[in-house]
Amino acid sequence: MAAATVIKPTTVHHPNSHSISPRIPEFSRAEVAEHCEIHSCWIIVSDKVYDVTQFIQEHPGGLDVIMEYAGRDATVAFMDKGHSKDAWMLLTDFFIGDMVKEDRIIK
C-alpha cells in the first residue's frame, strides 16, 4: 500500500537571470508504479506524471477505467478514447512531474 506523497518542487536560480523558477519533479516508472491504488493513483500520459487520486470517483467513464492504468502508462488509452480539449485541460490540473529522462518514451 503506497502512502500519499506530497510533491514540493525545488527552486533553481538561473545564473544569468534575476528570476527563480521551480524545478519540475521527476519520477521513475518504479516510483509511479507504487501509486496503483484507489487512495494513491498516479498515471503517465506522454511522459508526464499525474496524480488522479482525487478525480477517480468523478471520471465519466467510471473508476475502473482509470484503475486499469493506475501506476502505469495510460498514454495509448487516453489518446485512443479521443478525449476532448476540456479533458486535456482537466488533466493538467493533476500534473505532478515528468518521467526521468531514462524512462521517457518520447525522446
- Note the pLDDT of residue 85: 81
Res 4 pLDDT > 60:
no
* Structural domains of the chain, ranges and CATH numbers in brackets: 26-103 (3.10.120.10)
- Note the pLDDT of residue 5: 56
pLDDT tens-digit series, residues 59-94:
877 888 899 999 999 999 888 766 778 878 888 999
Res 45 pLDDT > 90:
yes
Torsion angle of the four alpha carbons 99, 54, 57, 70, in this order, in degrees rounded to the nearest 10: 20
Cα separation, 67 vs 63, whole angstroms: 6
- Would you call 89 exposed, middle or buried from its count of C-beta atoms within 10 A (0-12, 13-18, 19+)? exposed
DSSP string over 36-66: EETTEEEEEETTEEEE-GGGGGG-TT-HHHH
- Residue with more model confidence, 13 or 54: 54
- What average pLDDT does range 12-24 have in this prediction? 60
